[in-house]
Amino acid sequence: LPKDHAEVPISQADAPPVDTFAVQPRGKGRSAKLWKPKHVYFTAGAWEEAHGRRIAERLDALGLNYEVMKANRLPKLGGSTTRETYQKAKNTLAIVNAPPSTMKLTPIPPSADWQFHLAKGCPAHCQYCYLAGSLSGAPVTRAYANLDQILENNANFIDPNKQLTSFEASCYTDPLGIEHLTGSLSRTISWFGTQPDARLRWVTKYDDVSALLDLHHNGQTRCRISLNADWVTRRLEGGTADLEARLQAMRKLGQAGYHVGAVLAPLMPFDNWQDDYTDLLQRLREALDFEVDLTFELITHRFTPGSKQILLDWYPNTALDFDEDKRSKKLNKFGSHKFVYQKEQMKELKGWFTEEVEARFPEAEVLYFT
């Protein structure tokens, strides 16, 4: 990846706040800007839900306008190009009910026993976004209003034969990125606090954890922060908190008694990657200078042919390296494939990260490298 590749903002109107290569100071950090969508819609069904009304109260308090639809349909976005549709979608929040099909939870190895969803979509602008290949259609953020039903349904999936059943809440969204609008994450953490046999896991690139610090989580939640080298964060993760702000958020969560986790992803071997990742690990060690239950998840960058096409439509000037010739094809059980780093590169990354993490964090558990 070229070091001098200039990032191009999404558009003048909708440009994410990260738009420069200027070296950020290590001091206080730059918090993510709270997302204020330009368009907010409630479906008729969502408007009937108690949590839908709670969301409406939050929107009122923030001075955001919204429209309640007469049916359970959303208006068409109507962009004339993929980029225009993308920009409109990223400025749109829809409050809808999670469909009945989502009540049949599916496993999500190696992260957790089950995945469930508080929302689908995310306001940030990561140029490698995991959602590009897994969610279809324009990237509107849909937050679920039938949260009470979603949480009650989770109880059906707690395995009485296991000491702990784990639930992942961030497969299709960054729940902290929309927390100021929905309150869904706080409510979910509090619910898991009443479930001694269940464990909640979620992950974020945002940093406003203030609403979470006084919740009765009872140690049933692991809050994970997605971290990457400054090089990656500044160029490829528009709209998110900078590295220092995320580290400080993680520190606050650990001090509030949460289990915490560092999700180092997506790992990329850019020029001199060892230097930047050493800096990241060192700063994480400084931020967590107290006893805390800590895990690591190590995830290398990968893409599918489909996600590559979508991401290049969304971010045509990306600095991300999508060169398939430098990758290996990895088949999945459904017959499709993704592109991962080549065997030797993977071996080098795995060896380096495992060794460096273990040397600095002997108390932590590395859950997986992939």
Least Cβ distance, residue 206 to ligand SF4 (angstroms): 8
Of 49 and 246, CB closest to ligand SF4? 246
Respond yes or no on whether the N-terminal peptide bond of residue 266 is cis (omega within 30° of 0): yes
Cβ 131 to ligand SF4 shortest distance, Å:
5
Least distance (Å) between residue 192 CB and ligand SF4: 21
Q: Which two tokens stand for residue 270?
A: 């850019």
Element (H, E) at 249: helix 243-255
DSSP 64-114: ---EE-SSS-PPP---SSHHHHHHHHTTEEEEEPPPGGGGS-EEETTTEEE
Question: Please, what is the end-to-end C-alpha distance for the chain in angstroms?
Answer: 21
How many residues bind ligand SF4, per CB under 6 A? 9
Instruction: Compute the least distance from the CB of residue 125 to ligand SF4, in Å.
Output: 6
User: Residue 60 contacts by C-beta under 8 Å, 6 or more apart in sequence?
Assistant: none
Q: Other C-beta atoms within 10 Å of 4: how many? A: 6
Strand 67-68 relative to strand 141-144: parallel, antiparallel, unpaired?
unpaired
Nearer to ligand SF4, 124 or 320 (CB): 124
Distance CA 140, CA 121 (A): 6
Please report how close the Cβ of residue 148 comes to ligand SF4 at its closest, in angstroms: 25
Per-residue binder mask for ligand SF4 (CB under 6 A), 158-197, x = binder: ----------------x-----------------------
| Residues 118-147 contacting ligand SF4, CB under 6 A | 122, 124, 126, 129-131
* Exposure on the CB side of residue 219, measured as CA atoms within 13 A: 6
Q: State how far the Cα of 266 lies from the Cα of 243, in Å rounded to an integer.
A: 14
Query: What is the C-alpha separation between 136 and 241, in angstroms, rounded?
Result: 26
Nearer to ligand SF4, 167 or 172 (CB): 172
**Shortest distance, position 48 Cβ to ligand SF4, whole Å:** 28
Nearer to ligand SF4, 55 or 236 (CB): 236
Q: Give me the 253-272 binding string for ligand SF4, x by CB under 6 A, dash otherwise.
A: --------------------
CB of 266 to ligand SF4, least distance (A): 9
- Residue 147: CA atoms inside 13 Å, Cβ hemisphere, count? 25
Closer to ligand SF4 by Cβ: residue 85 or 165: 85
Q: Which is nearer to ligand SF4, 47 or 116 (CB)?
A: 116
Q: Of the two residues 294 and 320, which places its CB atom closer to ligand SF4 in the complex?
A: 320
Residues 199-238 that bind ligand SF4 (CB under 6 A): 205
Cβ neighbours, 10 Å, residue 78: 9
* Nearest approach, Cβ of residue 295 and ligand SF4 (Å): 19
Q: Is 18 in the site for ligand SF4 (CB under 6 A)?
A: no
Applying CB under 6 A, the residues found at the interface with ligand SF4 are 122, 124, 126, 129-131, 174, 205, 240
